[in-house]
Structure 1
Amino acid sequence: MAIAEPRSSSTRATRDTGIDLVRALCVLGVVLLHSMMVGVTVTDSGPLFANASDGSWWITPLSWVLQVMPLFFVIGGFAGYTSLRRAQQRGGTAKEFVAARIHRLVLPAVVTIGVVGIVLTVLLANGVPADLVAIAGYRYGQPLWFLGVFLLCQALLPLFAAAHRRAPWITITLIVAAAVAVDAVRNATGIDGVGFVNLAFVWLALQQLGFFFAEGRIDALTRRTRIVIGISAVAALVTTFLTGTYSPDLIANINPPSASLLLVGVAHTMLLSILRDRVASWSRLPLPSRFLTFVTPRAMTIYLWHMPVLLAMAGASAVFAMTTGIALPEPSSIEWWMTRPLWLVTVVALTAGIAFLLAGIEARRIPTPTRSAGRLVTASAVGTVAIVGLLVVGTTPVTASVAVVLLIASLRLARPGRGDSAWQLAAPTPRARVQG
């Protein structure tokens, strides 16, 4: 296999705007996909909120365009590995990296979940049927799986980065093998719950692939080799569909996640590597540059707030239909498709407006991190448990309150405590701002 000289990201003096642009587009893709899945109708018994994609023909081809989560985790691995290495070269530590990640991911979530909890309380107090409020809470909580998994993956990143430096191929092979084994057990037993173990293995494997990308190993492959790998991944993916191993609907393969997403991630990574120089050039054009400049520092805020925006729009649509008597179009009908452009533009505009107003939350200065590994482990675990609780139990005024308390505790644990001695706090090592 012929290779060229690796292009190491450690030599880059600035952020890779091409990678930032792709990540920003991934965020937009998620917003658009979730927007298309919202279905609202009004029947004689009242408003009906459902997933518009259930049983529809269009979700499969759309999922092949907008299923960007595998690529997002690859880019997360790329950015995290690059950021950690740069910080360590400047005297930073892995503990500071983890503390910064906890701060950047958890702080915006505290605000969003707190506001949602208050809104749900107000709705119940004003006589909105409890079942509708429960549906709203359930729909809001569904996308939060990403926050919990991404927090876990980023907290473990220094550990897996160290394993990657010692034995890159063995490490990623073991994680991939574990993901495939989980799917095998799930298929053999018919117990779908087993598949949720892959919330760890599938996404960790994709993050690990991002380490190879960050080191320049993938870019170092010849163009022909990358094309062959990408086409082979797609061919293998299609084969799993034809044999009935996995669903051709890539959205269905995310809950619980299956090893098919690894093939999606490989194909996307090869394509990104092939187009990387061109994407980098595009990222410097005026319009893409303004787009990524807006999204990059607000990515988590956009992700966390797009679902409340969608739920508010769905509720407003139902109220409009019930008060005016104007029927809402049936999901997947011609009339429904005609309203989608306006619906999508409105979602993006409202979400962008909220992200603009709340930009200061993600931009808050990262506080001095704890030097205690135990506190960081606990902080990561508490933050993850808070999100898992909302997913398992559902988002209600009570569970939202509990989650906010746990998330605040996670933030506090990531800061200095009794386990940090006075001399450590008085004489910290030089720290570089953790990016990505």
Structure 2
Amino acid sequence: MTVSTTLPSRPSGPPAASAAPPPTARSAPLPATRDTGIDLVRALCLLAILVLHGLQVSVTLGTSGPILEYATRGASWYPPLTWILQVMPVFFVIGGFAGLVAHRRSLARGGTSTGFVAGRVHRLLLPAVVTIGAVGLVLALLLGAGAPAELIGQVGMRYSEPLWFLGVFLACQALLPAQLALHERAPWALLAALATAAVGVDVLRSATGLDALGYANLAFVWLALQQLGFFLAEGRLDRLPVAVRSAAGVAAVAALVLAVATGAWSADLIAHMNPPTTALLLVGLAQTLLISLLRAPLVALSIRPRLAALTRFVTAHSMTIYLWNLPMLLLAAGVSAQLAMLGAGVLPAPPSLGWWTTRPAWLVVTVLLTAGAGWLLGGIERRRMPNTTGSSQHVLQAVLLALVAVLLILLAGATPVTAAVAVGLGMIALRRIRAGGHREDSSRTPNRHPMFLR
């Protein structure tokens, strides 16, 4: 959404140990300035995702034409890399961090939970509708121009895969007011309940061999990580002794290493997202504690001019960058294949030396293409929701319609037909939001930016 992330009241570091414990109710004082360190973390994490996607997508030439493939599938070099590039837990932590501040500020201005959810979903869904519509149109044009239907199907499935994040994050943000209300009553008990439920799902999945049971952790794992963001925003983690935070972070990593070493979990941390496992809770806990320990250095680093400029750009275009990364990668793959077929280049297969040699240029070009798309189209996600009045039922209907649209694309892949249906559902959802959301008063909130993990 458009509410800024914020710094603790003491930006130079954690409060002294003698400081009074923070209030836990919604009457707790809210910090007044942006947390540029958190903004920098989000920007670096988004860059990590662009690199990860760039390494995954590969195109080669077969006897019948271009072939899209996963360069990372079965690659021995990939699992160790995921220990650096698995940053999805951080996104949900930062989403909880920003959501707590945004919601409490909204209530302080006389806003409602309904208006908060309406604004969050509006700013997630609008750029998604545009992107899905554009991809569906391009796929239809390619089919009409005679492109192989099998190749178009591969492109559509590849494009649809990252949209899981849109659906899960949207659902978590829609549930944030209710989760925050429970957090204010019993913060540690709620976190323990979510973590215990996540462990229980993993145990039951392992005992029965039914992988489908693991999808219950789409709620338990990601909501637990979102709540870690509440703790970070309230300063609870910063108030813990450094030794306690350090020990807890080391213990989380040690538990993860032990589970991998014994064969209980895969060393590929990306594989733990489908469905989510409690490994992500350990990853997210370690990452959150590290952020807490490095708050002051992160702030100092984030105000350097070049990094500050990068962070501002990503902050203002983040949802667009995420949504357009795969289309830009697929465009680059298509152009590369076309040039190779015309004899103007080669497409080395992974993991050959030639493939590794071309990866730096490939990553730079695709990141720049994605940034260009963000710069050109980022204004869409900054559009404010018009003043509206209505009921919470309208917002609930909008959330459900949006989730159905995303689920359709995930299950069936992006095709001209599924894209058109998803766009239609998304537009109806946007109309429901505009009919059901009491827009937050933005007149008192300067420097507003689009909401993506804010």
Q: Normalising by structure 2, what TM-score?
A: 0.90
The alpha carbon displacement at 1:153 in A equals 0.3
Letter in 2 for 1:396: T
User: Structure 1 residues 10 and 142, CA, compared in 2 at 3 Å: closer, same or farther?
Assistant: farther
The corresponding residue for 1:148 is 167
2:125 matched to 1:106? yes
The corresponding residue for 2:39 is 20
Given candidates 325, 341, 346, the residue that maps to 2:365 is 346
CA distance in 2, matches of 1:3, 1:258: 35
Given candidates 311, 321, 327, the residue that maps to 1:292 is 311
The alpha carbon displacement at 1:318 in A equals 1.3
CA distance in 2, matches of 1:368, 1:23: 30
User: Structure 1 residues 10 and 344, CA, compared in 2 at 3 Å: closer, same or farther?
Assistant: farther
The corresponding residue for 2:96 is 77
The corresponding residue for 2:343 is 324
Letter in 1 for 2:125: V
The alpha carbon displacement at 1:4 in A equals 5.1
Given candidates 261, 265, 269, the residue that maps to 1:242 is 261
* Aligned partners of 2:167 and 2:406 also within 8 Å: yes
Letter in 1 for 2:200: A
* Aligned partners of 2:60 and 2:67 also within 8 Å: yes
CA distance in 1, matches of 2:440, 2:273: 41
CA distance in 1, matches of 2:293, 2:231: 15
Given candidates 118, 138, 143, the residue that maps to 1:124 is 143
CA distance in 1, matches of 2:97, 2:67: 42
Corresponding residue SS for 1:258: coil
Letter in 1 for 2:366: V
CA distance in 2, matches of 1:162, 1:138: 38
User: Structure 1 residues 4 and 26, CA, compared in 2 at 3 Å: closer, same or farther?
Assistant: farther
CA distance in 2, matches of 1:10, 1:236: 36
2:410 matched to 1:391? yes
CA distance in 2, matches of 1:209, 1:369: 33
Letter in 1 for 2:105: R
CA distance in 1, matches of 2:247, 2:66: 50
Unaligned runs of 5+ in 2: 1-15
2:294 matched to 1:275? yes
The corresponding residue for 2:111 is 92
Given candidates 69, 77, 94, the residue that maps to 1:58 is 77
Higher mean displacement: 190-199 or 21-30: 190-199
Letter in 2 for 1:118: L
Corresponding residue SS for 2:68: strand
CA distance in 2, matches of 1:4, 1:378: 48
2:156 matched to 1:159? no
The corresponding residue for 1:259 is 278
Alignment of 1:191-206 (within 5 A): 191-206=210-225
CA distance in 2, matches of 1:282, 1:10: 26
CA distance in 2, matches of 1:287, 1:315: 33
CA distance in 1, matches of 2:386, 2:81: 41
Q: Normalising by structure 1, what TM-score?
A: 0.94
Alignment of 1:208-219 (within 5 A): 208-219=227-238
The alpha carbon displacement at 1:14 in A equals 2.0
2:197 matched to 1:174? no
* Aligned partners of 1:95 and 1:371 also within 8 Å: no
User: Structure 1 residues 369 and 207, CA, compared in 2 at 3 Å: closer, same or farther?
Assistant: farther
Corresponding residue SS for 2:342: helix
Identity %: 53
* Aligned partners of 1:368 and 1:416 also within 8 Å: no
Unaligned runs of 5+ in 1: none
CA distance in 1, matches of 2:173, 2:18: 30
The corresponding residue for 2:249 is 230
CA distance in 1, matches of 2:107, 2:322: 29
The corresponding residue for 2:239 is 220
CA distance in 2, matches of 1:94, 1:75: 19
User: Structure 1 residues 207 and 313, CA, compared in 2 at 3 Å: closer, same or farther?
Assistant: same
Letter in 2 for 1:377: L
Aligned CA-pair RMSD? 1.9
Given candidates 300, 325, 338, the residue that maps to 1:306 is 325
The alpha carbon displacement at 1:88 in A equals 1.3
CA distance in 1, matches of 2:81, 2:263: 20
Letter in 2 for 1:339: T
The alpha carbon displacement at 1:327 in A equals 3.2
The corresponding residue for 1:35 is 54
Letter in 2 for 1:78: F
CA distance in 2, matches of 1:12, 1:38: 42
User: Structure 1 residues 325 and 285, CA, compared in 2 at 3 Å: closer, same or farther?
Assistant: closer
Letter in 1 for 2:434: R
CA distance in 1, matches of 2:321, 2:109: 31
CA distance in 2, matches of 1:99, 1:39: 38
Corresponding residue SS for 1:82: helix
CA distance in 2, matches of 1:109, 1:403: 10
The corresponding residue for 2:226 is 207
Letter in 2 for 1:150: F
